[in-house]
């Protein structure tokens, strides 16, 4: 217990952010005049106190005298009406506090001991006439009750003494032991254990969902009957982690109906990849697929690149900032944990959220209790999470997208991906291979273990409901991770200091150690050796905690001194926590007592098999009826302001996309700065090859036709890369299924159709899957304002991400139209395919025909496009996607800040032609002198629409003008919706 507590407050004498910050939080309901910010450091020590002089020195270390002032144990003076202090709850990661602590330690040359710390908090001094209600609204925007403590005072209460000094230490009872769990119970009681968790013998409360169903609980009961004993809580919690949907993907692994006895994954995803790899023979690009933390393809003779895309949906619904932050730094570890460690070199993001201008009245509890976080705060929170995670880690984040739909208000989808690069071999070893051997030491590196993230893996396998545990929330610490990332992939790997490595993600060490134990054939863990953030954690909590920024390595005994020495030098905490064995068992000891002893085989393969049944759903809609206006000017501008079409450039400029020096085609392109579909990055600086990234997703198609939805996503992901010059035979795909209500046969049928589309699309194009992930229960169950039960399920969402290798980035093509006189073409066929389109959504019409694709035709066309780009006769190229041809033409023109003169062919209603989302198409501009070569190459596939001209965008049909708009007006419309973010 700290006996000496001091409070240092730091503020800018003239804060440059004051205006922006105040405007951000000012609204009709919150009439702010000024919102001042004060950084607070609360220093709590017991072994020594600091003199006033020393405290001044600390204040000087924590501030900048040129522009800041600090005060010690004295409140900041300012003109304000209310003071709101936001700090962290006990046990939540506090990065600024840790940095301040290290600075003080360094300055005075002493170490903070147990029960001593520096806590950071932020004090907002608010000027303005705020009612209690507006104060509550402001507080809700500044703090999240799941991670923050909030303390509010009026100016009067603040007086001369200021805010209270609070030290949020974690206090827990000392030394807990493992208990056993009786599973010889009636089924109803067993089911309750699965749903709500083990009853804690001390408190009598349930510990949180295990997400084990009755069949699984029976299998566990039978196994332990065979052993003649009850399972310990450690064993049961461990099995729940390992068998979770999140880890074992039971829905993709289970037999389905009569026609898919091997299940969706083996039949659709894995089989597609195997078929393609066989067909490609010597030209196979895959190096490692599905088995490791990421998938990997060939980059060149010396290097390979890895890719993995993850989702972090449930945590982001509860704490958008922390959820997205841990999402991105978590998937970075899938790169560091690939093979013997790849260097993260590109980040990818994607957000499906509700319309940020809406505030739906949804609650987790009855009587308007526990409201959901409104879409705008979710959106801003996840944007900021990847900002902090990606930027602080020094990884460029060029590639990403946002998709808005009301079906995401209950649960957002947050996708985070990372590309890595590594040499193919080093010291005579292939770096994508790893093997822990019996006798190797189990070493945990990185952050310490706390209660954060407990039940994360099982939690994301359950729909969000009122009992969601708050411990599922974590805040990441990117700098701790950056420190071990650097020392592992830039030093230890090439010194050959370890034999295997993996990430501690879902399930913590219970999953990572048990997974690596398969390489050697067993493990023996000493749980009491695991370094903790605070004392008093139970063994089962230590074993399954998902505290962030940790990895597990297998270090040979003879190298452990060198390894530990290197970690010490880089100030990375590393601890030997056991040994890999070949006993076939996973044994865990805690203070000399065996708390887990299970056959590895049962742990990994003991879960009962399921046979899932699906039920076809066909929704019929009336044939859409709507008139085509005479002029389409207003429609064009309205479409450009649709949230799924308009610019979200504020994200692109907030995310560093130039670090590591490989920027070639960035997230925004052209003088008009339009967001591109694909980006291109050099990841090996002395090579002219580059990594192209793109993606496709059409959630609005799923309810109409899940099979075509999947084909559309695949085609779009591939076409984005083809447009910048990445050849088809270098492209690989990643699948992320984010489904809803996956216990319903109708949703399973949609899933099956989508998976079959994934198979046919990939095989058709010859583009293998290298990695994938699924998240099956993205549903929100709660109440409306009148306490009626409400369920909001996400649109069944499939993200296809594409990665391909550009042979020579100097030939790459950007999306912006270049010069007056250049010819404008549409390549590919346009049909009347408006089902699920942005146009019908704009009109509020459901139904219609979802775009179909003849893959053979498309493939031949894409090969010609690659040829044309190699011949350098393409000045710009851009895939036609959401919003159809008109939106694509407009974006190409806005990007180049040039006008166009376009004449569309007859034969189809102009609005249908211009807004149809038919697949397989590009807008291409070329120099007039290249016309002959271009038309000869493409033949009938390319239709000349007009030319680039002046500063006005004109579209006509049959001699009639449909659109005549200055390009500046279009650019303004395109950038308007998020202009003030």
Partner 1 sequence: MTTTKTPAKALIMSGYGINSEMETREALMRAGMASDIVHINDLIAGEKALSHYRLMVFPGGFSYGDDTGAGNAYANRVRNNLWSDLKDFLAGDNLVLGICNGFQILANLGLIPAFEQVRPREIALMPNRKGVLECRFVTLKPAVENLWTRGITHLYCPVSHGEGNFSCSEETLKRIEREKMVAFRYCRDDLSPAGGEYPYNPNGSLADIAGITSADGRVLGLMPHPERAMEFVNLYDWPTQKEHLRREGKPLPTESMNMQIFQNIVAYFEK
Contact status: 932 vs partner 1 (CB under 8 A): no
Chain residues 13-72 in contact with partner 1, contact rule CB under 8 A: 15-17, 19-21, 24, 39, 61-68
* Binding flags for partner 1, 677-706, as an x/- string (CB under 8 A): -----x--xx--------------------
- Please state, in angstroms and rounded to a whole number, the distance separating the CA atoms of residues 751 and 774: 11
Q: Are strands 942-948 and 900-904 parallel, antiparallel or unpaired?
A: antiparallel
CB of 476 to partner 1, least distance (A): 10
For 507, phi then psi, to 5°, come to 85, -5
Contact status: 894 vs partner 1 (CB under 8 A): no
Residue listed under structure tokens 């449909």: 962
Listed residue (363, 373, 519, 529) closest to 444, CA to CA = 529
Contact status: 785 vs partner 1 (CB under 8 A): no
For 858, phi then psi, to 5°, come to -60, -45
Member of 584, 613, 819, 951 binding partner 1 (CB under 8 A): 819
Q: Contact, 822 vs 927, CB < 8 A? A: yes
CB of 15 to partner 1, least distance (A): 8
Contact status: 482 vs partner 1 (CB under 8 A): yes
Is the CB of 196 or the CB of 380 nearer to partner 1? 380
Q: Contact, 172 vs 223, CB < 8 A? A: no
CB of 29 to partner 1, least distance (A): 22
Q: Where are the beta strands (DSSP E) in 628-768?
A: 663-665, 668-669, 674-675, 679-681, 690-696, 732-738
* Binding flags for partner 1, 107-146, as an x/- string (CB under 8 A): x------------x--------------------------
Contact status: 810 vs partner 1 (CB under 8 A): yes
CB of 67 to partner 1, least distance (A): 4
Listed residue (91, 94, 79, 86) closest to 123, CA to CA = 86
Q: Contact, 148 vs 68, CB < 8 A? A: no
CB of 101 to partner 1, least distance (A): 10
Contact status: 479 vs partner 1 (CB under 8 A): yes
* Binding flags for partner 1, 168-197, as an x/- string (CB under 8 A): ------------------------------
Member of 131, 435, 613, 658 binding partner 1 (CB under 8 A): 658
Is the CB of 145 or the CB of 661 nearer to partner 1? 661
- Please state, in angstroms and rounded to a whole number, the distance separating the CA atoms of residues 411 and 796: 12
Chain residues 386-415 in contact with partner 1, contact rule CB under 8 A: 387-388, 391-394
CB of 96 to partner 1, least distance (A): 4
Contact status: 669 vs partner 1 (CB under 8 A): yes
Contact status: 666 vs partner 1 (CB under 8 A): yes
CB of 643 to partner 1, least distance (A): 20
- Please state, in angstroms and rounded to a whole number, the distance separating the CA atoms of residues 174 and 13: 46
Chain residues 222-251 in contact with partner 1, contact rule CB under 8 A: none
Chain residues 75-114 in contact with partner 1, contact rule CB under 8 A: 95-96, 98-100, 102-103, 106-107
Listed residue (46, 45, 43, 24) closest to 35, CA to CA = 24
CB of 172 to partner 1, least distance (A): 27
Is the CB of 98 or the CB of 274 nearer to partner 1? 98
Member of 570, 643, 689, 947 binding partner 1 (CB under 8 A): 570
As a three-state string, the secondary structure of 166-185 is: CCCCCCCCCCCCCCECCCCC
Stretch that binds partner 1, among 12-20, 364-372, 462-470, 553-561 (CB under 8 A): 12-20
- Please state, in angstroms and rounded to a whole number, the distance separating the CA atoms of residues 981 and 969: 20
Contact status: 661 vs partner 1 (CB under 8 A): yes
- Please state, in angstroms and rounded to a whole number, the distance separating the CA atoms of residues 771 and 877: 28
Q: Contact, 816 vs 892, CB < 8 A? A: yes
CB of 756 to partner 1, least distance (A): 39
For 492, phi then psi, to 5°, come to -60, -40
Contact status: 465 vs partner 1 (CB under 8 A): no
Contact status: 813 vs partner 1 (CB under 8 A): yes
- Please state, in angstroms and rounded to a whole number, the distance separating the CA atoms of residues 5 and 169: 12
Is the CB of 181 or the CB of 386 nearer to partner 1? 386
The order of strands in the sheet holding 303-311 is 286-288, 295-298, 303-311, 413-423, 343-353, 399-404
Stretch that binds partner 1, among 564-572, 596-604, 638-646, 861-869 (CB under 8 A): 564-572
* Binding flags for partner 1, 822-861, as an x/- string (CB under 8 A): ----------------------------------------
Member of 402, 639, 875, 945 binding partner 1 (CB under 8 A): 875
CB of 548 to partner 1, least distance (A): 14
The string of DSSP codes covering 662-679 is -EEE-SEETTTTEE-S-E
Stretch that binds partner 1, among 44-52, 133-141, 810-818, 852-860 (CB under 8 A): 810-818
For 831, phi then psi, to 5°, come to -120, 170
Contact status: 7 vs partner 1 (CB under 8 A): no
Contact status: 654 vs partner 1 (CB under 8 A): yes
Member of 483, 648, 719, 882 binding partner 1 (CB under 8 A): 483
**CB neighbours of residue 978 within 10 Å:** 16
Is the CB of 39 or the CB of 213 nearer to partner 1? 39
CB of 523 to partner 1, least distance (A): 32
Q: In the structure encoding, which two tokens stand for residue 907, read together?
A: 């034969």
Is the CB of 396 or the CB of 606 nearer to partner 1? 396
Contact status: 821 vs partner 1 (CB under 8 A): no
Dmax over CA atoms of the chain, in Å, equals 89
Chain residues 492-551 in contact with partner 1, contact rule CB under 8 A: none
Listed residue (875, 964, 967) closest to 922, CA to CA = 875
Q: How far apart are the first and last CA of the chain?
A: 44
Is the CB of 396 or the CB of 578 nearer to partner 1? 396
Is the CB of 124 or the CB of 363 nearer to partner 1? 124
492 burial class (0-12, 13-18, 19+ CB within 10 angstroms)?
Answer: buried
**Count of chain residues binding partner 1 (CB under 8 A):** 76
- Please state, in angstroms and rounded to a whole number, the distance separating the CA atoms of residues 562 and 179: 38
Is the CB of 12 or the CB of 534 nearer to partner 1? 12
Listed residue (966, 722, 744, 698) closest to 852, CA to CA = 698
Q: In the structure encoding, which two tokens stand for residue 853, read together?
A: 């694709």
- Please state, in angstroms and rounded to a whole number, the distance separating the CA atoms of residues 876 and 672: 14
The order of strands in the sheet holding 500-503 is 500-503, 550-555, 441-446, 574-580, 523-526, 585-590, 593-599
Contact status: 458 vs partner 1 (CB under 8 A): no
Residue listed under structure tokens 């000087």: 60
- Please state, in angstroms and rounded to a whole number, the distance separating the CA atoms of residues 219 and 213: 10
Chain centroid to CA 802: 16
- Please state, in angstroms and rounded to a whole number, the distance separating the CA atoms of residues 808 and 812: 7
Compute the C-alpha angle 407/356/646, nearest 5°.
95
Member of 27, 131, 154, 653 binding partner 1 (CB under 8 A): 653
Chain residues 703-762 in contact with partner 1, contact rule CB under 8 A: none
Stretch that binds partner 1, among 299-307, 473-481, 590-598, 777-785 (CB under 8 A): 473-481
Chain residues 253-272 in contact with partner 1, contact rule CB under 8 A: none
Is the CB of 70 or the CB of 974 nearer to partner 1? 70
Listed residue (345, 340, 346, 344) closest to 492, CA to CA = 340
Is the CB of 484 or the CB of 974 nearer to partner 1? 484
Member of 11, 364, 818, 859 binding partner 1 (CB under 8 A): 818
């Amino acid at each position: 217990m700290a006996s000496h507590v001091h409070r240092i407050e730091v503020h800018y004498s003239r804060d440059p952010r004051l205006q922006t910050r105040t405007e951000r939080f000012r609204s009709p309901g919150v009439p702010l005049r000024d919102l001042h910010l004060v950084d607070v450091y609360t220093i709590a020590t017991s072994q020594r106190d600091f003199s006033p002089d020393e405290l001044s020195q600390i204040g000087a270390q924590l501030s900048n005298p040129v522009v800041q002032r600090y005060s010690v144990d004295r409140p900041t003076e300012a003109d304000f009406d209310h003071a709101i202090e936001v700090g962290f709850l006990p046990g939540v990661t506090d990065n600024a506090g840790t940095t301040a602590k290290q600075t003080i330690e360094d300055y005075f040359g002493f170490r903070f001991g147990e029960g001593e710390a520096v806590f950071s908090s932020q004090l907002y001094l608010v000027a303005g006439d705020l009612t209690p209600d507006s104060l509550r609204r402001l507080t809700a925007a500044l703090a999240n009750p799941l991670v923050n403590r909030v303390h509010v005072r009026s100016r009067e209460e603040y007086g001369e003494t200021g805010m209270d000094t609070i030290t949020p230490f974690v206090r827990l009872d000392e030394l807990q032991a493992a208990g056993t769990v009786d599973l010889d119970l009636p089924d109803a009681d067993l089911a309750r254990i699965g749903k709500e968790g083990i009853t804690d013998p001390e408190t009598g409360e349930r510990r949180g969902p295990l997400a084990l169903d009755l069949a699984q609980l029976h299998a566990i009961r039978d196994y332990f009957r065979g052993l003649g004993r009850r399972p310990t809580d450690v064993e049961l919690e461990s099995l729940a982690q390992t068998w979770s949907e999140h880890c074992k993907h039971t829905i993709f692994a289970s037999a389905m109906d009569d026609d898919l006895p091997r299940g969706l994954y083996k039949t659709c995803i894995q089989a597609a990849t195997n078929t393609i790899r066989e067909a490609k023979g010597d030209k196979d690009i895959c190096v490692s697929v599905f088995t490791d933390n990421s998938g990997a393809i060939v980059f060149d003779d010396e290097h390979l690149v890895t890719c993995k895309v993850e989702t972090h949906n449930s945590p982001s619904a509860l704490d958008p900032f922390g959820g997205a932050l841990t999402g991105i730094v978590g998937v970075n570890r899938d790169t560091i944990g690939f093979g013997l460690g790849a260097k993260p070199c590109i980040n990818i993001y994607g957000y499906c959220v509700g319309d940020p201008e809406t505030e739906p009245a949804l609650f987790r509890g009855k009587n308007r209790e526990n409201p959901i976080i409104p879409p705008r705060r979710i959106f801003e929170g996840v944007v900021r999470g990847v900002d902090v995670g990606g930027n602080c880690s020094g990884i460029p984040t060029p590639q990403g997208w946002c998709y808005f739909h009301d079906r995401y208000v209950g649960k957002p989808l947050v996708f985070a991906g990372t590309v890595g690069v590594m040499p193919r071999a080093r010291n005579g070893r292939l770096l994508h291979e790893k093997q822990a051997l019996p006798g190797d030491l189990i070493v945990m590196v990185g952050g310490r273990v706390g209660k954060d993230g407990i039940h994360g893996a099982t939690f994301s396998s359950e729909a969000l409901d009122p009992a969601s545990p708050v411990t599922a929330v974590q805040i990441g610490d990117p700098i701790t991770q950056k420190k071990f990332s650097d020392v592992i992939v830039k030093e230890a790997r090439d010194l050959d200091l370890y034999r295997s490595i993996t990430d501690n993600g879902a399930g913590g060490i219970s999953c990572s150690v048990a997974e690596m134990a398969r390489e050697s054939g067993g493990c023996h863990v000493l749980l009491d050796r695991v370094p903790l953030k605070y004392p008093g954690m139970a063994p089962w909590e230590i074993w399954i905690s998902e505290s962030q920024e940790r990895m597990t390595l297998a270090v040979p005994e003879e190298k452990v001194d060198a390894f530990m020495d290197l970690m010490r030098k880089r100030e990375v905490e590393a601890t030997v926590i056991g040994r890999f064995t070949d006993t076939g068992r996973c044994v865990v000891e805690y203070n000399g007592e065996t708390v887990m002893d299970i056959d590895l085989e049962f742990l990994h393969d003991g879960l009962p098999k399921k046979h899932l049944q699906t039920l076809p759903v066909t929704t019929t809609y009336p044939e859409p009826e709507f008139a085509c206006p005479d002029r389409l000017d207003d429609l064009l501008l309205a479409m450009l302001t649709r949230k799924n079409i308009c610019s979200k450039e504020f994200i692109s400029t907030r995310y560093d996309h130039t670090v590591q020096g490989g920027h070639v085609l960035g997230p925004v392109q052209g003088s008009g700065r339009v967001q591109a579909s694909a980006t291109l990055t050099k990841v090996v600086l002395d090579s002219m090859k580059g990594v192209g990234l793109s993606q496709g997703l059409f959630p609005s198609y799923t309810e109409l036709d899940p099979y075509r939805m999947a084909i559309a996503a695949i085609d779009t992901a591939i076409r984005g890369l083809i447009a910048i010059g990445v050849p088809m035979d270098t492209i690989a795909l990643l699948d992320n299924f984010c489904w809803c209500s996956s216990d319903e046969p109708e949703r399973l049928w949609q899933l099956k159709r989508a998976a079959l589309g994934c198979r046919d699309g990939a095989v058709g194009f010859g583009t293998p899957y290298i990695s994938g992930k699924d998240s099956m229960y993205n549903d929100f169950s709660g109440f409306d304002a009148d306490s009626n039960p409400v369920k909001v399920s996400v649109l069944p969402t499939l993200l296809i991400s594409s990665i391909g290798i550009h042979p020579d980035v100097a030939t790459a093509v950007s999306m912006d139209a270049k010069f007056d006189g250049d010819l404008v073409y549409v390549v590919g066929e346009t049909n009347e395919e408006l089902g699920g389109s942005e146009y019908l959504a704009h009109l509020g019409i459901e139904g219609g025909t979802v775009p179909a694709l003849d893959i053979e035709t498309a493939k031949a066309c894409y090969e010609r496009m690659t040829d044309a780009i190699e011949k350098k006769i393409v000045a710009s190229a851009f895939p036609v996607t959401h919003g159809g041809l008109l939106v694509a033409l407009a974006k190409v023109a806005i990007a180049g800040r040039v006008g166009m003169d376009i004449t569309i062919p007859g034969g189809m209603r102009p609005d249908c032609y211009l807004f149809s989302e038919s697949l397989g198409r590009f807008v291409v501009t070329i120099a007039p002198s290249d016309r002959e070569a271009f038309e000869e190459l493409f033949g009938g596939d390319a239709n000349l629409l007009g030319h680039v001209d002046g500063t006005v965008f004109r579209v006509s049909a049959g001699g009639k003008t449909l659109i005549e708009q200055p390009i500046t007006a279009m650019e303004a419309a395109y950038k308007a919706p998020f202009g003030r973010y």
